Every structure is written in structure tokens, then in C-alpha cells.
């Protein structure tokens, strides 16, 4: 029992430390106005709503890849909603696109999604190798999600743009420094959790002490410490269970890549993708990348699948744009299998050893 607990703890704590650091860096970047500034400039691109939507989806994809999908949802959902309102476009595509793209674009780097880190801890795949093999599946997922939401909301997006977008100044402050440092640390180091966490804490302290853009209260709230700790203990419990009960490990090593992805997506919908990742990856896996495609994209089936979706619900309601859980599920039941199939097929082409 003690060995199961400590092995589970070894798997679980580094991912949560890394995500905490990325959330702090995201808070610093947001307090610099970096996301608003970039988002407003993309909203001013010439063309109709389809061009604007595609550009903002690209922003969500990049921020998700570098700073984690939870950071992306928390800080970019308001940016997308406000951009749509300012340009006189119905905000439905931007509202749902923010969360679908955050989940769908979390395949690229280990730090892009907690599930990546949880699975890679036992699979021992180096960060740069993981990024290289997942680059094209990541692009395929982004493309499918952008196209399908554009078609779904075509009547909203094809309208000509109207209104004016406020263009806040683009500041090159601590946020940019943090983003660059985090990217390098995640790609270069085998265990970047503590360095990224230390970087996030240091930048938060510097931002509070040296500028007037961030208060102590805002810094504390940005971490969502209670939620992260609760999820960490839940994941720890599932990790202990997985080490005492070998059924999930035997199952994952007896099925192929497509089935691995399907199991990951299905279990994510039932118990959330973080506990699912720990339960299914207590032992080294035959198809870790395929499983991650299911764990990362599967939560687009229903809002219970990922922390990012739950955060999105809260943020959207606070912005006066309450989402429909039924609409989320209707869109997700079509979009999720299509994006998963595209990512898996691309993975088969670029990394056949993963199959």
C-alpha cells in the first residue's frame, strides 16, 4: 500500500506543479494585457467573421500549447467574447470555439495538458520527441475543429464585420519573459516542473512588487489552488487504485491504438480526464500517444470531461454569455470523433511506431 501511494505521488505531483507555474505565468501575461492586445489586433484583420474566427482560434491554439489549456480558457474566453461583440458578430462560434479549441490544441507539448504529463511520467518520452511526433496531429486537430465550428456557425460568421475594436497597447513585460522561459524549460529539461513553478512564482512577485498591473488578491485567485489541490488528491487516489488493481494496465496493453484512444475519451467523459489518465497509465503503455489523443480530445464530448470545460462554464457565465450544456454535447458528439480520427490518422502517417 505504501509503495502504491509513493509511486502514485511520484507520478502526480510534478504535473500539478508544472501547471501551477504555467497558470501563474499566464496571470502575469494577462495582467500585462498581452492576450487582449494580440486578440484585438487579430480581430482587426481584413475580411469577414470567418477570417476573424480563424485568427482567434489560432491564438487559442498557440496559448494552449505554450501555457496550458486551463490558462487559455480562463484568459482568452473573455477576449474572444468581447471581440465578437465589438465587431457586431454573434458570439456563439467564439464562445464554444474557445473551449473546444483549448481541449483540441492541447496535444503539442507536455505542459499543454495535465493528462500529457501524467501519461508521459510513466512512458518516459522526452519532451522534444513528444512535440515532434504530435506536431502534425496537433495541426490536424486544430484544422478540423476550426472548419467544423465555422460550418456550424456559418450564418453567424459570414456577416460583414462592423463596429470598432479598442486596441490596447502591446506591452513587452514579464509575461513575455515568462512565456519564453516556460517554453524553453519544457522542451529542454526532463523534469521542468519545479523550474517552471519557481519561474511563475518569481514573475508573480516581481509583477506585484514592481508594477501596478497586478494585486496580491488577483495573484492568489489566478492559481485556483483549492481546485488544483482537490484534483491532485483525486488523481492520487486513482493512482493508488491503479497500482493495487492491475485491470486497467492489462486492458491498455491488450488493445490497439484506436481502442486506446476510444477508452481514454470514454473514461474521460465519465470520471474526468485527469483521474482517467492516472488510472490508465500506472504502467508503461504500448500506445501512449494514441491514449493521449483520446484523453485530450475526448473531453469535448461533454463538459464534465476536463477541468478546462468547467472553468469555461464559470468564465462564460461571468461574462454574461451562459453556455448551453446541451449544445456543447450536440456539437461535441460530431466534432470529437472527427478531430480524434484526423489526429490518429495523422499520427499513423508521421509516427507509425506509435501504432
The residue with greater pLDDT, 317 or 240, is 317
Sort 230 into a burial class: Cβ within 10 Å, 0-12 / 13-18 / 19+. exposed
Q: Are 137 and 293 in contact (CB under 8 A)?
A: yes
Spatial separation of the C-alpha atoms in residues 194 and 261, rounded to whole Å: 30
Q: Are 86 and 66 in contact (CB under 8 A)?
A: no
pLDDT, mean over the chain: 89
pLDDT grade for 65, boundaries at 50, 70 and 90: very high
Spatial separation of the C-alpha atoms in residues 272 and 276, rounded to whole Å: 6
Question: How much is the pLDDT for 59?
Answer: 96
Question: How much is the pLDDT for 298?
Answer: 97
pTM for the model stands at 0.91
Question: How much is the pLDDT for 161?
Answer: 78
The residue with greater pLDDT, 144 or 248, is 144
Phi, psi of 321 (to 5 degrees): -135, 65
pLDDT surpasses 90 at 80: yes
Q: Are 231 and 307 in contact (CB under 8 A)?
A: yes
Question: How much is the pLDDT for 222?
Answer: 66
The residue with greater pLDDT, 121 or 269, is 269
The residue with greater pLDDT, 151 or 166, is 151
Model pLDDT for residues 214-245, shown as the tens digit of each residue: 877 777 776 667 777 888 888 888 888 878 88
Question: How much is the pLDDT for 213?
Answer: 81
Q: Are 73 and 24 in contact (CB under 8 A)?
A: no
**Separation in Å, CA 199 to CA 29, 65, 122, 353:** 13, 18, 25, 35
Q: Are 354 and 287 in contact (CB under 8 A)?
A: yes
Model pLDDT for residues 153-186, shown as the tens digit of each residue: 999 998 777 767 777 888 788 999 999 999 898 8
pLDDT surpasses 90 at 88: no
The residue with greater pLDDT, 48 or 138, is 138
Phi, psi of 95 (to 5 degrees): -65, -55
Spatial separation of the C-alpha atoms in residues 305 and 245, rounded to whole Å: 23
Q: Which residues of 75-103 are buried (b: 16+ CB within 10 A; e: fewer)?
A: bbbbbbbbbbbbbebebbbbbbbbbbbbb
Spatial separation of the C-alpha atoms in residues 51 and 71, rounded to whole Å: 24
Place of cell 511520467: 121
Question: How much is the pLDDT for 290?
Answer: 96
Task: DSSP for 102-135, please give it.
Answer: HHHTTTSSGGG-HHHHHHHHHHT--HHHHHHHHH
Question: How much is the pLDDT for 1?
Answer: 64
pLDDT grade for 294, boundaries at 50, 70 and 90: very high
Q: Are 67 and 109 in contact (CB under 8 A)?
A: no
Model pLDDT for residues 103-131, shown as the tens digit of each residue: 999 999 988 998 998 898 887 778 888 99
In this structure, the number of other CB atoms found within 10 A of the CB of residue 125 comes to 19
**Separation in Å, CA 110 to CA 68, 185, 212, 254, 260:** 9, 11, 33, 25, 19
The percent of residues in the chain predicted with pLDDT above 70, rounded, is 98
336: cell is 470529437
Question: How much is the pLDDT for 72?
Answer: 94
Q: Are 333 and 265 in contact (CB under 8 A)?
A: no
First to last CA, the chain: 34
* 269-274 average pLDDT score: 90
Phi, psi of 159 (to 5 degrees): -65, 145
- DSSP, res 223: T
Spatial separation of the C-alpha atoms in residues 59 and 39, rounded to whole Å: 7
Sort 350 into a burial class: Cβ within 10 Å, 0-12 / 13-18 / 19+. middle
275: cell is 483521474
Amino acid at each position: 500500500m505504501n509503495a502504491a501511494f509513493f509511486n502514485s505521488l511520484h507520478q502526480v505531483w510534478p504535473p500539478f506543479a508544472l501547471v501551477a507555474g504555467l497558470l501563474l505565468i499566464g496571470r502575469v501575461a494577462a495582467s500585462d494585457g498581452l492576450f487582449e492586445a494580440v486578440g484585438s489586433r487579430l480581430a482587426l484583420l481584413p475580411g469577414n467573421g470567418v477570417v476573424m474566427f480563424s485568427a482567434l482560434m489560432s491564438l487559442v491554439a498557440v496559448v494552449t500549447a505554450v501555457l496550458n489549456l486551463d490558462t487559455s480558457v480562463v484568459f482568452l474566453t473573455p477576449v474572444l467574447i468581447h471581440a465578437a461583440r465589438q465587431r457586431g458578430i454573434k458570439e456563439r462560434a467564439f464562445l464554444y470555439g474557445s473551449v473546444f479549441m483549448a481541449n483540441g490544441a492541447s496535444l503539442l507539448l507536455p505542459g499543454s495538458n495535465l493528462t500529457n504529463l501524467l501519461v508521459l511520467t510513466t512512458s518516459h518520452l522526452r519532451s522534444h520527441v513528444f512535440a515532434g511526433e504530435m506536431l502534425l496531429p496537433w495541426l490536424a486537430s486544430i484544422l478540423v475543429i476550426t472548419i467544423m465550428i465555422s460550418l456550424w456557425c456559418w450564418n453567424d460568421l459570414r456577416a460583414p464585420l462592423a463596429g470598432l475594436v479598442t486596441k490596447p497597447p502591446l506591452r513587452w513585460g514579464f509575461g513575455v519573459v515568462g512565456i519564453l522561459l516556460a517554453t524553453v524549460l519544457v522542451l529542454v529539461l526532463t523534469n521542468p516542473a519545479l523550474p517552471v513553478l519557481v519561474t511563475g512564482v518569481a514573475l508573480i512577485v516581481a509583477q506585484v512588487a514592481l508594477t501596478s498591473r497586478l494585486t496580491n488578491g488577483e495573484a492568489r485567485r489566478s492559481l485556483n489552488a483549492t481546485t488544483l489541490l482537490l484534483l491532485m488528491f483525486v488523481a492520487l487516489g486513482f493512482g493508488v487504485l491503479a497500482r493495487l488493481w492491475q485491470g486497467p494496465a492489462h486492458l491498455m496493453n491488450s488493445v490497439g491504438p484506436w481502442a486506446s484512444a476510444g477508452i481514454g475519451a470514454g473514461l474521460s467523459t465519465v470520471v474526468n480526464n485527469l483521474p482517467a489518465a492516472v488510472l490508465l497509465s500506472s504502467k508503461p503503455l504500448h500506445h501512449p500517444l494514441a491514449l493521449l489523443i483520446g484523453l485530450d480530445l475526448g473531453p469535448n464530448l461533454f463538459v464534465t470531461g476536463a477541468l478546462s470545460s468547467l472553468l469555461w462554464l464559470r468564465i462564460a457565465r461571468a461574462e454574461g454569455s451562459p453556455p448551453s450544456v446541451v449544445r456543447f454535447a450536440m456539437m461535441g458528439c460530431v466534432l470529437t470523433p472527427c478531430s480524434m480520427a484526423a489526429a490518429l490518422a495523422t499520427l499513423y502517417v508521421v509516427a507509425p511506431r506509435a501504432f
